């Protein structure tokens, strides 16, 4: 009887594995079909838009000759992403021409800035009944925008700057939080989202994509600073529903903080980080929860597969480290496995914040372990620093009852180093040493660390 039960269990596990493999294969095939279809549609649109005059209006708008019709509205025919956490991109959508509107349409509450390209700003329009800032779908803005999007609105940069100038700098208090990977910043942003009148922008990818454009030298430094300021203004555009704004940027964008501080010195700035080994272990745990990222990790950690498919390591490094990296000796991105890349991501972000503190910028640091020693007390101190009334403490603390930070172990006494191989620990320690940081798992205090006791 036991042998039969064991055989049935093996068959069941095999069936689940085959089903997972089939589902993943279908997803890949559908994504390939999507990309192929999009290429065909874009080729066809070049001809039809030239014939119908759409391209002429777009071209005149870019030259400043059609300002009143410079917002190009396109209806979404099909949308597809391979990885849910991938950076927002116009290529996520196949669209068809719908019409032209005045650029002031982006001030509507159901229109939000999605991403930036070298020549255009890309907005997402959702149904008036949807709210991408408070959606049950996700805690991240870029995911809610993608999920709820019905129209794409593109706008030439000249019109984009004009709209930002009309809006002006935010008229309400703004707090900007940078962070390392898996630092608990999502928990903080969810606490803030429960405060009445607080608009939370969790990882707006207009900022992320602009950073990549500049780092890849597709735009000049002066243009980059102007675009960055315009992005922030339109992300924080006036909305009668909100009396304060809390922005949580992607961990890979800490390097953008200096220009933002210079453009908006009245904002309050925070940086949240976590013990290095716990941050890395949490990231590895998160990768294992989804078959696609887990497969990427398997390739990165295999010397043979990573040699055959070198772009996997390059892709992972690009989206986690590239914007924050420093050219330090001994670190070769193509030779780093998953632990090495995640360590480099943590170290690069920490190093960027430390440099900003050294330059004299007023950025308050929060260490996750300190915060979680007494979360309610820590939250009270944080609210006082942000000049938020203490009467909102109880409602904000409700976020502690929900585990938004999936894959995070809250046991501070756990020795996570044992879960990593000696080779991985050595690689991580070498990377941290190259960045001038303590060994893996050792406590590191950034200047300006908030006292939460």
Going from N- to C-terminal start, the domains of the chain cover 65-167+210-220, 271-390+405-434
* pTM for this entry: 0.90
Convert the pLDDT of each residue in 196-227 to its tens digit.
Answer: 999 999 999 999 999 999 999 999 999 999 99
How does residue 14 score in pLDDT terms, banded at 50, 70 and 90? low
Convert the pLDDT of each residue in 67-103 to its tens digit.
Answer: 999 999 999 999 999 888 899 999 999 999 999 999 9
Convert the pLDDT of each residue in 143-200 to its tens digit.
Answer: 999 999 999 999 999 999 999 999 999 999 999 999 999 999 999 999 999 999 999 9
Convert the pLDDT of each residue in 424-453 to its tens digit.
Answer: 899 999 999 999 999 999 999 998 898 876
Convert the chain into a string of H (helix), E (strand) and C (coil): CHHHHHHHHHHHHHHHHHHHHHHHHHHHHHHHHHHHHHHHHHHHHHHHHHHHCHHHHHHHHHCCCCHHHCEEEEEEEEECCCCCCCCCCHHHEEEEEEEEECHHHHHCCCEEEEEECCCEEEEEECCCCCCCCCCCCCCCHHHHHHHHCCEEEEEEHHHHHHHHHHHCCCCCCEEEEEECCCCCHHHHHHHHHCCCCEEEEECCHHHHHHHHHHHCCCCCHHHHHHHHHHHHHHHCCCCCCCCEEEEECCHHHHHHHHHHHHHCCCCEEEEEECCHHHHHHHHHHHHCCCHHHHHHHHHHCCHHHHHHCHHHHHHHHHHHCCCCCCCCCCCCHHHCCHHHHHHHHHHHHHHHHHHHHHCCCCEEEEEHHHHHHCHHHHHHHHHHHCCCCHHHHHHHHHHHHCCCCCCCCCCCCCCHHHHCCHHHHHHHHHHHHHCCCCCCCCCCCCCCECCCC
What is the predicted pLDDT for the residue at 21?
A: 66
Convert the pLDDT of each residue in 371-415 to its tens digit.
Answer: 999 999 999 999 999 999 989 999 999 988 875 544 444 443 344
């Amino acid at each position: 009887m036991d042998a039969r039960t064991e055989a049935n269990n093996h068959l069941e596990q095999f069936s689940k594995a085959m089903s997972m493999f089939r589902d993943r294969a279908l997803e890949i095939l559908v994504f390939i079909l999507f990309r192929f279809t999009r290429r065909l549609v874009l080729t066809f649109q070049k001809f039809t838009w030239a014939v119908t005059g759409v391209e002429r209006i777009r071209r005149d708008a870019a030259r400043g000759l059609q300002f009143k019709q410079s917002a190009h509205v396109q209806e979404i025919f099909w949308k597809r992403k391979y990885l849910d956490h991938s950076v927002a991109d116009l290529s996520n959508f196949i669209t068809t021409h719908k019409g032209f509107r005045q650029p002031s349409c982006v001030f509507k509450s159901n229109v939000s800035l999605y991403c930036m390209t070298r020549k255009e700003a890309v907005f997402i329009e959702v149904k008036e009944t949807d709210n991408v800032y408070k959606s049950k779908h996700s805690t991240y803005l870029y995911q809610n925008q993608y999920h709820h999007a019905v129209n794409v609105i593109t706008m030439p940069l000249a019109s984009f700057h004009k709209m930002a100038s009309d809006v002006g700098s935010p008229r309400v208090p703004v707090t900007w939080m940078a962070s390392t990977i898996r630092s608990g910043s999502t928990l903080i942003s969810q606490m803030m989202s429960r405060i009445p009148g607080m608009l939370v922008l969790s990882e707006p990818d207009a900022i992320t994509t602009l950073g990549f454009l500049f780092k890849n030298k597709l735009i000049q430094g002066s243009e980059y600073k102007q675009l960055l300021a315009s992005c922030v203004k339109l992300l924080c555009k006036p909305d009668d529903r909100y009396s304060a704004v809390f922005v949580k940027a992607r961990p890979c964008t800490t390097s953008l903080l200096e220009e933002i501080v210079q453009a908006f010195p009245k904002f309050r700035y925070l940086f949240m980080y976590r013990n290095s080994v716990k941050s890395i272990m949490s990231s590895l745990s998160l990768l294992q929860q989804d078959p696609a990222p887990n497969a990427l990790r398997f390739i990165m950690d295999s010397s043979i597969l990573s040699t055959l498919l070198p772009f996997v390591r390059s892709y992972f490094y690009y989206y986690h480290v590239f914007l924050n990296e420093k050219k330090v000796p001994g670190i070769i991105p193509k030779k780093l496995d998953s632990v090495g890349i995640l360590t480099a991501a943590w170290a690069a972000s920490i190093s960027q914040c430390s440099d900003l503190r050294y330059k004299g910028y007023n950025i308050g640091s929060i260490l996750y372990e300190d915060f979680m020693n007494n979360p309610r007390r820590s939250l009270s101190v944080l609210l006082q620093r942000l000049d938020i009334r203490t009467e909102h403490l109880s409602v904000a603390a409700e976020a502690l009852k929900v585990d938004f930070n999936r894959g995070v172990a809250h046991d501070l006494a756990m020795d996570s180093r044992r879960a990593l191989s000696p080779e991985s620990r050595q690689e991580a320690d070498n990377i941290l040493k190259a960045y001038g940081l303590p060994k893996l798992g050792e406590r590191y205090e950034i200047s300006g660390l908030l006292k939460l006791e």
